[in-house]
Amino acid sequence: MAELFSADWMNELKDAWNADPEVKDKLAEIGFNSTITCGFKDEEKPRGVFVVVNGECVSAGDYAGETMDWDMRASRADWMKWVEKGIGMAGMGTAFAMGKLKFLQGDFKGMLKDPRMAGPFIKSFGLMKQIGAE
């Protein structure tokens, strides 16, 4: 099992993403393109980066200064809880409202209002649970 947000972990997530039609294909239907980063709230820069072109993750790895469309941050404890137990739509909304999940870039509220994006987003957290992390 790879370290959370390491290049190996991000690439495992990339493979799981691309293998899941409920994520990749649903986002391809709406022409979703985005550079997504994630990391810890107490750090200046994100740790991992995930580049999506037309729904498919085309690259993933260590963050190296890429311009980001989405930057998600949480404490390590919260990330690990979501990796271990998953999170649903209600839990995601609560985590955002309570400040446990922060979006330093990206329109979380707008995304949640669009079921074409919200469903795959929640499913992507399920992929994190599927691959696990250290």
Domain boundaries, the chain: 7-131
- Segment 16-37, tens digit of pLDDT: 999 999 999 999 999 999 999 9
Q: What is the reported pLDDT for 111?
A: 86
- Say if domain 7-131 classifies as CATH 3.40.50.300: no
**Is the Cβ–Cβ distance between 103 and 93 less than 8 Å?**
no
Whether residue 47 contacts residue 36, with contact meaning beta carbons closer than 8 Å, is answered with no
Distance CA 128, CA 17 (A): 9
Neighbour order of strands in the sheet with 102-105: 56-62, 48-53, 34-40, 70-74, 102-105
For residue 60, pLDDT beyond 90:
yes
pLDDT in tens, 61-97: 999 999 999 999 999 999 999 999 989 889 988 999 9
Contact between 122 and 22 under an 8 Å Cβ cutoff? The reply is no
